[in-house]
């Protein structure tokens, strides 16, 4: 394809709504009921109108191209309701790649957590993550049952098509459209969330955000405030009950 045609193709993408195109061979993520709640648990945390959610597709899996990607979560609790938070990441052999604690937000909303691993995530490897909130005062108690969600991610290398689209893209939104249309969920979501934070009144970004969350069955979270990154306090935390 001539370079001019490539640019016109990407610019056409950037002028339309961002939509997600699954990159799974069998399209298994489409049409399924959400599995985020079914595999999660409210634990000892109080009942809330909207539960703890991970911003991931219905199959609880997604692709990423970054060495240390960012995940996004909707936390429905206030800081006076949660005593501690823990995140862990495991490789295919169930070995801990990362285990850390983080401070609890003061108010409900959408937050991110950037993975900080000793080594970059390996390409074509699948990792499983767990995001837990402990709501009892004594977070180390063996009887404490966390509210949690879990999912997986796989790091992939950009193919030729995606590399060409990214090279031709002249705006951040064009890059997001390229990620989304090539099935790179975590990267597309994170880049779009940062645009929403930078320009919260931008109606185009608002519509893109609604479209992307609608694909994942999370459109009801589209109007929730986005607060940004959870600050990691402690790596390799050992004071949490492992479940």
- For the residues of 49-67, what is the DSSP string, one character each? SS--EE---TTSEEEE-SS
Evaluate whether residue 243 is within a structural domain.
no
Classify 179 as helix, strand or coil. helix
Q: Which helix (H) or strand (E) holds 207?
A: helix 203-215
Whole-angstrom distance, CA of residue 162 vs CA of residue 168: 10
Evaluate whether residue 113 is within a structural domain.
yes
HEC profile of 117-174: CCCCCCECCEEEEEEEEECCCCCCCCCCCCEEEEEEEEECCCCHHHHHHHHHCCCHHH
Average pLDDT, the chain: 82
Residue 31: give its domain's CATH number: 2.60.40.10
Mean of pLDDT values over 111-135: 94
Q: What pLDDT does residue 148 have?
A: 92
Neighbouring residues of 105: CB distance < 8 A, sequence distance ≥ 6: 75, 78, 79, 111, 227, 230
Evaluate whether residue 241 is within a structural domain.
no
Q: Report the domain count for the chain.
A: 1
Residue 106: give the domain boundaries. Answer: 3-235
Query: pLDDT: is 202 or 10 the higher one?
Result: 202
β pairing state of 70-75 and 53-54: antiparallel
Instruction: Give the percent of the chain with pLDDT over 70.
Output: 77
């Amino acid at each position: 394809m001539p370079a001019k045609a490539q640019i016109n193709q990407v610019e056409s993408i950037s002028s339309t709504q961002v939509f997600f195109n699954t990159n799974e061979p069998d399209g298994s993520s489409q049409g399924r009921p959400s599995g985020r709640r079914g595999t999660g648990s409210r634990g000892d945390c109080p009942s809330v109108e909207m539960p703890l959610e991970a911003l991931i597709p219905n199959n609880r899996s997604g692709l990423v191209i970054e060495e240390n990607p960012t995940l996004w979560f909707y936390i429905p609790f206030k800081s006076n309701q949660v005593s501690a938070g823990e995140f862990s990441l495991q490789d295919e052999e169930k070995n801990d790649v990362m285990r850390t604690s983080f401070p609890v937000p003061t108010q409900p909303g959408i937050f991110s957590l950037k993975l900080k691993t000793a080594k970059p995530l390996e390409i074509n490897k699948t990792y499983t993550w767990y995001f837990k909130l402990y709501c009892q005062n004594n977070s180390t108690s063996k009887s404490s049952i966390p509210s949690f969600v879990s999912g997986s991610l796989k790091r992939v290398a950009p193919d030729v098509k995606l590399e060409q689209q990214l090279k031709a893209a002249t705006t951040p939104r064009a890059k997001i459209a390229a990620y989304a249309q090539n099935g790179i969920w975590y990267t597309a979501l994170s880049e779009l969330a940062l645009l929403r934070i930078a320009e919260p009144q931008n109606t185009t970004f608002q519509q893109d955000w609604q479209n992307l969350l609608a694909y994942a069955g999370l459109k009801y979270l589209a109007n929730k405030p986005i607060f940004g990154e959870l600050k990691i306090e402690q790596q390799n935390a050992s004071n949490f009950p492992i479940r």
